[in-house]
Structures are given as structure tokens and as C-alpha cells.
Chain A
Amino acid sequence: MKSASPSSTASMSGRLQAWLPKLVLAPSVVISLCFVYGFMLWTFILSLTSSRMLPSYDFVGFTQYARLMNNERWWVAATNLGVFGGLFVGCCLVLGAGLAILLDQRIRREGVLRTLYLYPMALSFIVTGVVWKWLLNPGLGIQAMVRGWGFESFTFDWLVDPDMAVYTLVIAAVWQASGFVMALFLAGLRGIDDSILKAAQLDGASLPRVYWRVVMPCLRPVVFSAVMILSHIAIKSFDLVVALTGGGPGYSSDLPATFMYAHAFTRAQIGMGSASAVLMLCGVLAILVPYLYSELRSRRHG
């Protein structure tokens, strides 16, 4: 008996040590299981029902999805997401990489410039939206200013043109996010071993060629994470649309997130709103799953 007690306390503390991390993590696991994954599941269930003003459990199969597919506004929103997402991610990458390369040329006052470019990221999308709404308003913004200089025929009325309104979203979002992408690239550039660059230069590669063939391939992981971050910003964009265009003119600059909000919360069509939310989730998964897959696979190989 006497000899057993120290070993049992040791095993107790050992067991406690083994359990402690799990115990501490448990609340957050439960919370996220319940409030993230649970609600995802609930949304999916609701999307199969005929819920209108309040959730009901009258299952109608995939009718809500069929209605969604026949809804013209949904297609406007989905097309807009394609245009907005593609241009937003593309422009941010190009601008961000360009700025980062220019800043990396050991210039003076780099810190000041870097802060200047990064600063828009500190603003909320609502602020960005309102500021750009004023700038792009033909009656008080850029157009009015240039006309005030005497160029009477100058027109820049994208904000009020149904065909161009979605591009104003791209302008505002790129303005906000490209500085952040620049910071990512800059960090990546700083991490590249100088000797590689020197070797390339010794081999007689021109500067653009060095960047294109040597530096950029080294930055692949940076590009990848930038694309991930930007595309999820694009898919969940809501505040920017609300502040900048309000989805208009008409509903020409609607995005799926604003579509979902309008139907689930103001139009008493919870079923259809849920269906559109599920499709948005599928959009996110379509990007996330290949990413996780490639990440995990490369780790296994590495």
C-alpha cells in the first residue's frame, strides 16, 4: 500500500497533464461546433424547407434551389461576384506585387511609404465605401472637380451607371486591400536569400527576368495565401456594397451576401435566403478544399 501511493499520484498528475489541454480546449471546441458548424447545418436544413417569415420544418426538397436558379437577381449577384472577385484578386495581386518590388529597391523613407500604402487596410469597409461614394458621385466627386477645371465633357459616372457600378466596388476594394497584399509580398521578398539573386545576376539575367523567373517562383506560398485571403474577402463582401452602391442602381451591383440578407431578413424568404447562403458556403469550400489539400499534401511530401 505504502509503495503504491506515490506511483498513483504520479499517474494522477500524469493523467491530469494529458487531459488538461483537452479540458481547456473543450469549451471553445464545443462553442465552435455548436455555433459555427451547428448553424451551418441548420442553415442547410432550412434551405430544404419552405420557411418564409419564421423557420418552419415543412420539407420541400431542393425547390428553394430551383427557385434560386430561376431568380434573375441571383444570377446578377453571382455574375457580379465573378467579375468583382476576379478583378479584385487580380488587381490586388498585380498592384501589391508591383508596389512591393518597387519598395524593395532600398529606397529612402521606405517605412513612411509602407505605412502610407498599408493604412487603408486599417479602415473599415464602411468608411471606404462612404468615402468612395462621395468621390465617385458625379455631382460632387471626381467628375464635378474635373469639370470645374474646365473640361466640360469629362464624364466619370460609373457609380450611377448600372453596367459599370460593379467596377466601382472593384476600385474601392482594390484601394483598400492592395497595400496589405504589398506588405505580404514585401515580407516574402525580404525572406529570399540574397545569394540566389546574386547567382542569377552572375548568370547574366536582366532585372525583370530575375524577378519573373527567380523571385516570383520563390514567392508562390505568398501568392497562395494572398489569393486565399482576398477571395474570402470578396465572397463575404457586404459592408462595402451597402455603403458604396447600396446594391444599385436597381440591383445591378448586388453580391450574393447582400442578396442573402435581403431575402432572409427583409423579404420573409428564409428558405431561399438559406439556399443562397449554402451556395455561398459551397463557393468558399471550392476555394478552401483545394488549398487545404495542397497544403497537407506538400507537408507530407516535405
Chain B
Amino acid sequence: MRALTTLPLFRKSMLGLAMAGALGAAGQTQAGEVEVLHWWTSGGEAKAVGTLRDLLEAEGHEWKDFAVAGGAGDSAMTVLKSRAMSGNPPAAAQIKGPEIQEWGELGLLGNLDSVAEEGNWEELLPGVVSDMMRHDGHYVAVPVNVHRVNWLWANPEVLEDAGVEMPTTWDELFAAGEALREAGYVPLAHGGQPWQDATTFESVVLSLGGSDFYRQAFVELDEQALQSDTMIEALTTFKRLRELMDEGMPGRDWNLATSMVIEGEAAMQIMGDWAKGEFTTADMQAGEDYLCAAVPGTDEAFTFNTDSFAMFQLDDDEAREAQKTLARLILEPEFQQTFNQIKGSIPARPDLDMSEFDRCAKRSMQDFQAARDADTLVPSMAHRMAMRSDVQGAFFDIITNYFNSSDMTAEAAAQRLVKAAELAM
């Protein structure tokens, strides 16, 4: 008897469940899943990505995290290639610079034109950046942030102790170097890894040649520019910087070099603004406990390193909707501001309110806007923004070999740069 009475009840509840399910499904027709491949796995970076995840989930979509740590993105790229080859790429992947074009040529990237039009990206983004995000005229990627590479960081206490000012020309820098040496400090902290050598070198080139020369040499790979006197002078100055470094520098990681500045062992470091993360972790305030200035002679110019997410072609409509939502959210002020404050970079769109940011970031944004207007915004060669990865690799080899070799002349190095540039032709 008892069983009979409970049966209708059970039926009713089943019906209710089914209805609820149907309603729920109806309410979330737009819900899709976005799989995002990235290599932001360290503490601060992971937190920064978390903000994007929260925003996306608030819109009712699902975020599927696909983080691959290690090798400054090399491991992530290897995974991405194998996924793409098996015909199953993630919805979005952290791809930057000219690599976006390489993926675009393979016909794997989706089209974001509708989102771009709605969000008016054309107006928001500086021309160099938006060109980088487009393949064949269509938006395929969205920029997350802008790092400035041509920064000189310094420890004011050390400078004061040696009685020198923040240098604004190379002569001043070398003079300051001597004073600092005498006071027992390492003038310039550096890590002898190819990308760090290239980071320093590109700043020297930008300083001595200006942004037009920089573009000719590193973007257009112009033969004349690469073997010009300016390039040879830049190579010579670059090599002279070795005098300011300590002998333990080969192979050192960049953050160890930064900690030399933090601990007052070294006075200055040429590094992109991700170095700020190290200073912040050491509880130092921008402008007070540590100083930031453009590398001597590059005040007017801005070497940028932009992280971006490229969006892959998807078959599923819901997933495509979620992907577009992700693209829209990335450029919205809320994400740009929270993310970039954590990451140490500045927003990719120059129109945002910077009051929450620290002094160096504000300075960076000012220079970013000024450089956009003066057309002195140049892509960083050392950070895979300016040239194809094979040419860049060959450039790295030459720069680092020249920097470390005792008998290679600047002329010989310039000739080899020309030869390497022919690779790209």
C-alpha cells in the first residue's frame, strides 16, 4: 500500500526535476565553454588570470583552464602545436606578435570582426598594436596588456651613496658606472642569457638610432640599416656596457639580477616593467624605494611587448559565443585595470583611467600615449614582437655571441646580422 501512495509523489517530483532542467537549459542557451591556453602560472600571474575567469563565469560561460608552465611559453607552444595538428585546438591561446600571423596563415584562427566593431577596437588600440592583432585585415586576436621594455631601474640609496644621479645619456651612465665601481657597487645588474642580452641591445639601438632606424633594422630587416655606422656604434656601445657588469653574470636569471638591485648590491638594471613585480614583492614603493626611467636616450620612444590571446576557429555555436564574450571582456576597462595592476604592465588601450596605478605605470602610460601620437611606438625585438621566430633566433645567436666573444668585431657582427636577415627573404 505504501508503495502505491509514494509512486505518484515520486512521479511528480521527477516531473518537477525535468521541468527545472528544461527551464535551466532554456535560461542558459548561450552558455558555452572556453578553453584557454596560457602560461601565466606563477602566483601573481595566476591571480591576474583568475580575474578574467571570474568575469567570464559571471556572464554565465564556462572557463576551462589549460595552463602549461615552463620555458617562457615554449612548453605551452609545443602543446598548442600538437593540439592544432590533431585538429583540436583550444578556443583561445596566449600567442603574441608575428606568431599570430603565422597561425593566421595556417587558416586556424577565427574571426573577431563583429566584437571589434561593437567595441570600437579600431579607435581604442594604437595602430601598431591593432595591426598585430589582425590577419589579412580581420581581427583574430585581442591584446591583454602592454609591457614597456626600455626601462632603466635603479636603487636610489646606492646612487646616493656613490654620489651620482639617474643617468640620462650613455656618457653619464658610463661616468656613473666608474663612480659606482669605486664605491664598491656593481653599476649594472645583468643576466647573461640571450634574451636579456637582446633586451639591452635593442634599447641601445633605439637610443642611438631612434625609432625610425629601429624599425628599419628590426622590423623591415633593411640591409643598409643593419650594416650602417649607427648599427656599428650601437654594437660598440652595447659591448662597452659589459664593463659595468659583474663577472658572475653569464646564465643568471633576470629576477636574480633584479634582486641585486633590490638588495643594494647593484645600482641599475635594464629590464622590462615585469621587473616591478620583484620590487613590489620586496615591499618597495615605485618612485621612493626604487626609481624607473627610460633607458638613456629613449625618453621619447616606447618599446612594447604585448601579450595577447588569439582565438581559434570553432564549430560549436555556443562555444563561439563564449569565445566572443571572452574577447570582449579582455578589452573592457574592468579586466584591463585589475589585470595590469597585478601584472605590472599597463592596459592595452590608452584611454583608461590610471589613477589606481603606481608612479612608474602612470609614466609608462603617458609615454605610451605620447609615443602613439609621435609614431615612436616600436615592437620589441627581444620579446618576439618584431620578427619571425627563426630570424629572431639567428639575431639572438649573433648578439649574444658578439657580446660574449673577445675577438669578434662590431663590423663582423653587423655583417652577420645582414646574413641572418636574408633568412627572412
Interface residues in chain A, defined as those with a beta carbon under 8 Å from any beta carbon in chain B: 52-55, 72-73, 133, 137-140, 157, 159-160, 162, 245-246, 248-252, 262-263, 265-269
- In the complex, chain B residues 219-257 whose Cβ is within 8 Å of any chain A Cβ: 246-251
Asked whether B249 lies within 8 Å of A246 as measured between CB atoms, the reply is: no
Interface residues in chain B, defined as those with a beta carbon under 8 Å from any beta carbon in chain A: 71, 74, 77-78, 81, 84-85, 99, 102-103, 106, 192-194, 246-251, 388-390, 392-393, 397, 400-406
Residues of A within 8 A of B405 (CB): 162, 250
Asked whether B247 lies within 8 Å of A160 as measured between CB atoms, the reply is: yes
Residues of A within 8 A of B247 (CB): 138-139, 157, 160
Asked whether A262 lies within 8 Å of B393 as measured between CB atoms, the reply is: yes
Minimum CB distance partner of B391 in chain A: A267
Residues of B within 8 A of A263 (CB): 393
Specify which of A52, A251, A267 is in contact with B401 (CB 8 Å cutoff).
A251
A252 to B390, CA, bound (A): 19
20 A-B contacts, Cβ less than 8 Å apart?
A53-B102, A53-B103, A54-B81, A54-B85, A138-B247, A139-B248, A159-B250, A159-B251, A248-B192, A248-B250, A249-B250, A250-B194, A250-B402, A250-B403, A251-B194, A251-B400, A252-B401, A266-B71, A267-B390, A269-B390
Specify which of B74, B84, B248, B406 is in contact with A137 (CB 8 Å cutoff).
B248
Residues of B within 8 A of A266 (CB): 71, 74, 77, 389, 393
Asked whether B390 lies within 8 Å of A268 as measured between CB atoms, the reply is: yes
A269 to B397, CA, bound (A): 15
Minimum CB distance partner of B401 in chain A: A250
Asked whether A252 lies within 8 Å of B404 as measured between CB atoms, the reply is: yes
Minimum CB distance partner of B406 in chain A: A162
Residues of B within 8 A of A162 (CB): 404-406
Q: In the complex, what's the smallest C-beta–C-beta distance from A190 to chain B, in angstroms?
A: 43
Q: In the complex, what's the smallest C-beta–C-beta distance from A223 to chain B, in angstroms?
A: 35
Residues of B within 8 A of A52 (CB): 102, 390
Minimum CB distance partner of B193 in chain A: A246
A265 to B390, CA, bound (A): 11
Residues of A within 8 A of B404 (CB): 162, 248-250, 252
Q: In the complex, what's the smallest C-beta–C-beta distance from A301 to chain B, in angstroms?
A: 48
Asked whether B400 lies within 8 Å of A250 as measured between CB atoms, the reply is: yes
Interface centre among A52, A138, A157, A266 (most CB of B within 10 A): A266
Residues of A within 8 A of B389 (CB): 53, 266-268
Q: In the complex, what's the smallest C-beta–C-beta distance from A31 to chain B, in angstroms?
A: 19
Residues of B within 8 A of A245 (CB): 250-251
Asked whether B406 lies within 8 Å of A265 as measured between CB atoms, the reply is: no
Minimum CB distance partner of A162 in chain B: B404
Residues of A within 8 A of B397 (CB): 72-73, 250-251
Residues of A within 8 A of B192 (CB): 160, 248-249
Minimum CB distance partner of B393 in chain A: A267
Q: Which 8 A-B pairs have the closest CB atoms?
A: A139-B248, A267-B393, A249-B404, A250-B404, A250-B401, A249-B250, A160-B250, A268-B389
A62 to B401, CA, bound (A): 28
Residues of A within 8 A of B401 (CB): 250-252
Q: In the complex, what's the smallest C-beta–C-beta distance from B82 to chain A, in angstroms?
A: 9
Further contacts, 8 of them, CB under 8 A, given A55-B85, A266-B393: A54-B81, A138-B247, A162-B404, A248-B194, A250-B397, A250-B403, A266-B389, A268-B99
Q: In the complex, what's the smallest C-beta–C-beta distance from B72 to chain A, in angstroms?
A: 9
Residues of B within 8 A of A53 (CB): 81, 99, 102-103, 106, 389
A139 to B192, CA, bound (A): 14
Asked whether B248 lies within 8 Å of A138 as measured between CB atoms, the reply is: yes
Q: In the complex, what's the smallest C-beta–C-beta distance from A265 to chain B, in angstroms?
A: 6
A69 to B93, CA, bound (A): 35
Q: In the complex, what's the smallest C-beta–C-beta distance from B385 to chain A, in angstroms?
A: 15
Q: In the complex, what's the smallest C-beta–C-beta distance from B255 to chain A, in angstroms?
A: 15
Minimum CB distance partner of A264 in chain B: B78
Asked whether A160 lies within 8 Å of B248 as measured between CB atoms, the reply is: yes
Q: In the complex, what's the smallest C-beta–C-beta distance from B397 to chain A, in angstroms?
A: 5
Q: In the complex, what's the smallest C-beta–C-beta distance from A28 to chain B, in angstroms?
A: 24
A197 to B406, CA, bound (A): 55
Given A53-B102, A55-B85, A265–B248 Cβ distance below 8 Å?
no
Residues of B within 8 A of A72 (CB): 397
Given A54-B106, A246-B193, A251-B401, A265–B77 Cβ distance below 8 Å?
yes
Residues of A within 8 A of B71 (CB): 266
Given A250-B403, A252-B404, A139–B246 Cβ distance below 8 Å?
yes
Residues of B within 8 A of A269 (CB): 390, 393
A133 to B252, CA, bound (A): 10
Residues of B within 8 A of A138 (CB): 247-248
Q: In the complex, what's the smallest C-beta–C-beta distance from B286 to chain A, in angstroms?
A: 29
Residues of A within 8 A of B402 (CB): 250
Minimum CB distance partner of B186 in chain A: A139
A245 to B193, CA, bound (A): 10
